Amino acid sequence: MSDRVMWFNGRCVPWEDARVHVWDELALRGANVFEGITAFWNARELRHEVLAGDAHLDRLFHSAQVADIPAPMTKREVFGALCEVAAQLPGTDIYLRPTFYAKKGRSALAPDSEGAMYIGGFPFRPTRPPAVRAVVSEHSRYGGPIGADAKSGGSYLDFRVFERERIEHGVEHVFFLNDRGHVAEADGAAILLVRDGLVITPSVDSGVLDSITKRIVLAIALDLGHRVEERPVQRDELYQAQVVLAGTLLGLRTVDEVDGQRAGDRAGADTAAALIYEYNQLCRAESPLAGAHLAPLQ
């Protein structure tokens, strides 16, 4: 059995058979919106349990509305399709990427408008490189009519520029600022600054995707009795705290160095380690908070 599964046009197909035309709006204008979703294998129940499935589907439909991509299915139907993909990958944690795209029509209101969906799925094993270094990009990222709070393929073209910078600097991550010079987010992850008993993160008006992983971590932080501050974050603050990245594909990852500077202290690192431990327990259904975030994918 292949470890990559593709759901396309209503059924699972061989990976190579998911083809679109170069003149589809998907290719012409990058007209697609997507989600990255994780589901963890529960070996006791012999089933996948999806993390924050409702929040991801809500965001997929929100992105579709913002980017004016016609939603080809209902939430219940998308959930059913995710279950079909998960059923092909038993016994392992998985990453699922449902995508709505426009085949035809320059707007969902166009008479010839036609939407479609695919889902890619594959096993998921988050790893941590031996050293995690980041640089702050020389570019800022800010939205036009499609803001940072929608996951749209077209607006993610920006990440090619950040990826190029990342490679040129030889680091693991690039952080970027918003148009006001405040810290926004990282390539594929939210930024959290952890100090002793305090978790700080850029507020949603900082031009960031409202990360679902970050929301879970903030709930854990409050549950552990820490304080949480969501507010504009100055660049200098990156050098004074334990930086933690939060994203669905990445999980939680501590950062060792930003712009060549080591930052944070023992207390911040301990608080970060406790958050990461609790988050991983939650994903394994080993936490009292799990019930609020995990649901069977079947």
Ligand X SMILES: Cc1ncc(COP(=O)(O)O)c(C=O)c1O
Which residues form the interface with ligand X (CB under 6 A)? 36, 185, 188-190, 209, 211-214, 246-248
**Cβ neighbours of residue 106 closer than 8 Å, sequence gap 6 or more:** 25, 29
Q: What angle do CA 181, 144, 244 make, to 5 degrees?
A: 45
Q: How far is the CB of 185 from ligand X (least distance, A)?
A: 5
Q: Dihedral, CA atoms, 162, 166, 168, 170, nearest 10 degrees?
A: 180
Q: Residue 32 or residue 213: which is nearer to ligand X going by CB?
A: 213
C-beta closer to ligand X: residue 66 or 189: 189
Nearer to ligand X, 103 or 253 (CB): 253
Classify each residue of 62-87 as buried b or exposed e, where b means 16 or more C-beta atoms within 10 Å of its C-beta: ebbebbbbbbbbeeeebbebbbebbe
Cβ atoms of residues 129 and 253 within 8 Å: no
**3-class DSSP state for residue 156?**
helix
Of 105 and 120, the one with the shorter C-beta distance to ligand X is 120
- Phi, psi at 138, each rounded to 5°: -80, -5
Comparison of 105 and 246: residue with beta carbon closer to ligand X: 246
Report d(CA 228, CA 39) in Å as an integer: 27
